[in-house]
């Protein structure tokens, strides 16, 4: 399916790792020119280089968005963009049920204490049930979040306005 993202410029904040990285990679795969943002120059450059090596168009921009001067510098360095994904931020590790590397590491540490077994599928099912029961019985994957973001950035979502799109495996069982 053509997402209509070719020749679009996208700035994805906090994209040097985790969800942001997955979003930047998927938008680049769909033809967007992506601006990878992070605070760690080496990690940010590595993600941008990986996207270029895969045939995408990417460049790195570094800066701390927690300050007005830092945010201004990132915006100036990024230049004009068609898509802005505000992904940068912090969370307590359990606010999201997404399998990032820190969540995997934490889960493996707890699994030994809780006797959840040694097989990842058993550990994941047990952790999911204990921490955030959902309809699919597992953590979400970064590429699943990236796919939702890519869809919302695409021409196929032009008619969506002011809506909540829950990408949570059924953790929240309400419709708003």
Chain segment 45-98, per-residue pLDDT in tens: 999 999 999 999 999 999 999 999 999 999 999 999 999 999 988 766 555 689
* Cα(15)–Cα(27) distance, integer angstroms: 12
What local confidence, expressed as pLDDT, does residue 113 receive? 95
Higher pLDDT, 44 or 89: 44
Q: What rounded mean pLDDT belongs to the chain?
A: 92
- Give the pLDDT score at 94: 54
Q: What is the pTM of this model?
A: 0.91
In a 13 Å sphere around the CA of 154, the CA atoms on its Cβ side amount to 19
Burial of 138 by CB count in 10 Å (0-12 exposed, 13-18 middle, 19+ buried)? middle
The per-residue pLDDT for 93 is 52
Tokens (6 digits) for 60: 């790195």
70 token code pair: 């830092």
List phi, psi (to 5°) of 145: -70, -45
Pair 150, 6: CB distance under 8 Å: no
In our burial notation (b when 16+ CB lie closer than 10 A, e otherwise), range 59-84 reads bbbbbebeeeeeeebbbeebeebebe
What ranges in the chain are assigned the alpha helix state H?
18-29, 41-53, 68-78, 101-114, 120-131, 142-153
14-18, 111-115, 156-160, 169-173: which range is least confident on average?
169-173
Nearest to 12 by CA among 87, 71, 98, 117: 87
User: What percent of the chain has pLDDT above 90?
Assistant: 81
The residue-averaged pLDDT of 93-104 equals 79
Write down the pLDDT at residue 91: 64
In this predicted structure, what is the pLDDT of residue 176? 59
**Using CA atoms, how far apart are residues 157 and 3, in angstroms rounded to an integer?**
9
Q: Which two tokens stand for residue 98?
A: 């997404």
- pLDDT attached to residue 137: 93
Distance CA 12, CA 135 (A): 29
Contact indicator for 16, 36 with CB cutoff of 8 Å = yes
């Amino acid at each position: 399916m053509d997402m209509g993202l070719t020749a679009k410029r996208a700035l994805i904040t906090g994209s040097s790792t985790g969800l942001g990285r997955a979003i930047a990679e998927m938008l680049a795969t769909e033809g967007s020119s992506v601006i990878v943002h992070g605070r760690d120059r080496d990690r940010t450059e590595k993600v941008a280089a990986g996207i270029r090596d895969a045939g995408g168009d990417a460049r790195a921009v570094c800066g701390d968005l927690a300050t007005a001067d830092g945010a201004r510098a990132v915006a100036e360095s990024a230049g004009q963009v068609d898509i802005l994904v505000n992904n940068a931020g912090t969370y307590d590790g359990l606010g999201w049920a997404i399998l990032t590397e820190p969540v995997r590491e934490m889960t493996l540490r707890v699994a030994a204490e809780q006797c959840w077994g040694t097989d990842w599928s058993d550990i994941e099912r047990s952790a999911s049930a204990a921490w955030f029961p959902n309809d699919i019985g597992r953590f979400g994957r970064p590429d699943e979040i990236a796919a939702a973001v890519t869809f919302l950035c695409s021409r196929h979502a032009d008619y969506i306005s002011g809506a909540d799109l829950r990408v949570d495996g059924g953790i929240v069982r309400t419709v708003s």
